[in-house]
Amino acid sequence: MKEISCKLLVIGAGPGGYVCAIRAGQLGIDTVIVEFGRPGGTCLNVGCIPSKALIHAAEEFQKLSHMAGGKNPLGIAIAAPSLDLAATTAWKDGIVSRLNNGVAGLLKKAGVKTVHGWATFRDGKTVAVETEIGMQVIRAETVVIATGSAPVELPSLPFGGPVISSTEALALSEVPARLAVVGGGYIGLELGIAFAKLGAKVTVVEALPRVLAQYDAELTRPVVKRLAELGIEVLVNAKAKGLSTKRDALLVETNGGKNGKIAADKVLVTVGRKPVTEGWGLEQIDLDMAGSFIRIDDQCRSSMRGIFAIGDVTGEPMLAHRAMAQGEMVAEIVAGHKRSWDRRAIPAVCFTDPELVTAGLSPEEAKARGEIKVGQFPFTANGRAMTKLGEDGFVRVVARADNHLVLGIQAVGQGVSELSTAFGLALEMGATLEDIAGTIHAHPTQGEGFQEAALKALGRAVHV
């Protein structure tokens, strides 16, 4: 049995873990990171990156299919396209592999030692790692838990056979002719829309009264409209009950207790994610929990001295960039720097069609704190959106009524994910409506909608 000691041990090489380890290495901290899979975690391997690759491929295929129909305003006509999903998956896997190697290289460059295997706590300072060459014991002054999250499995729809999670959906070699999606949140709709564009007949089953319930109804309206245009059937107030006897249909109970069947070759379950807290020996260290998550303070410290936790294992919002920011902060704290966690400006993006972006407070949340001003600018009045055939959507700015401090920014539209950085920066810098309105925005861009929304809130709208 081999033993090593270090100043900092990071368990999990996902976005939070590897960023924490790299920053610690840059700061001269003797760091070891343990990961049983490939570096990059869920986000890089079976989440953010591969799903966006599939979404992009689906968008391109759908554009070509539309042009083949001969009815498009661009005047472009082509032959009907064909799809080799196995080739698409291979392209996606190539991107993931390049990024895997990139993360491994960055860890090495920062002087971080990587141990491949599954770590189990023996006590608050010691873990045992099962590696391919035997057991390795690691003793550390400080430990960071960054074990991430996993898809939630429904008791009535256990994963296996036709029932798949997002992980299996991103590895399919053929487009299912009929796809039932259980869960109308961002993961379900992102993948459901992508497969609909690739030719699948998609049905979404959502237990709540509407899909994308975490966003306000006005923001999601263009997405709901697009679902109908793509032929996606949406059942709300409906519960998935299990598979049919022949396992070729999803059994559902609709509002009012009526039972029905949805023919399906694959059933994609996307009802949420849960923290990965089992199998790590956490019972050996007895951390305080917040429900199923590890409880942390504003510096990501757990209830035990010398143990930090970051990322999905600590709760919502389960976003890679949140984990990255936490990881960087923790590394600097371990190095003796004065840091704390401010979650005011964490943009969230939903890569549906059209895309959604939120940062800061919604109008309802802001209104609960006092009088507000709201400015909203539609993309129907934006020249760049018109030239991209993407007029559905808008940019909305929410600010305090007294001093015009911006409290929240939301947008829905084609490609608005790229506006998320500007939204986050405005909130982080404490921008006012006047700051945004007075910033010269390049023309013609969709970003002009940000400036126009601020002008609208000030009663000085120019283009609407």
Hey, how many other C-beta atoms are within 10 angstroms of the C-beta on 68? 15
Cα–Cα dist 383/455, whole Å: 17
Angle between helices 186-197 and 217-229 (to 10 degrees): 20
Cα–Cα dist 106/102, whole Å: 6
Cα–Cα dist 142/153, whole Å: 33
DSSP strand E in 165-313: where?
178-182, 201-205, 233-235, 239-243, 249-253, 259-263, 266-269, 273-275, 289-290, 293-294, 307-309
Cα–Cα dist 263/407, whole Å: 45
- For the question of residue 443 being annotated catalytic, the response is yes
Report yes or no: 104 and 96 within 8 Å, Cβ to Cβ: no
CA distances from 297 to 290, 314, 366 (A): 11, 10, 24
Cα–Cα dist 387/444, whole Å: 10
B/e letters for 234-246, b = 16+ CB within 10 Å, e = fewer, are bbbebbbbbbeee
Cα–Cα dist 126/9, whole Å: 9
**Selected catalytic residue, list 66, 404, 443, 463:** 443
- Answer positive or negative: Cα dihedral of 103, 106, 110, 113: positive
- Answer positive or negative: Cα dihedral of 80, 84, 90, 96: positive
Report yes or no: 35 and 116 within 8 Å, Cβ to Cβ: yes
Which 8-state DSSP code applies to residue 301? B
Structure tokens at 392: 């559905």
List own/partner pairs for 338-343 with CB under 8 A and 24 or more apart.
339/299, 340/298, 340/299, 341/298, 341/299, 341/300, 342/298
Please state the separation of Cα 433 from the chain's center in Å: 28
Is residue 138 exposed (0-12), middle (13-18) or buried (19+ Cβ within 10 Å)? Answer: buried
Task: Look up residue 455 and give its amino acid.
Answer: L
Which 8-state DSSP code applies to residue 79? P
**Which amino acids are annotated catalytic?**
443
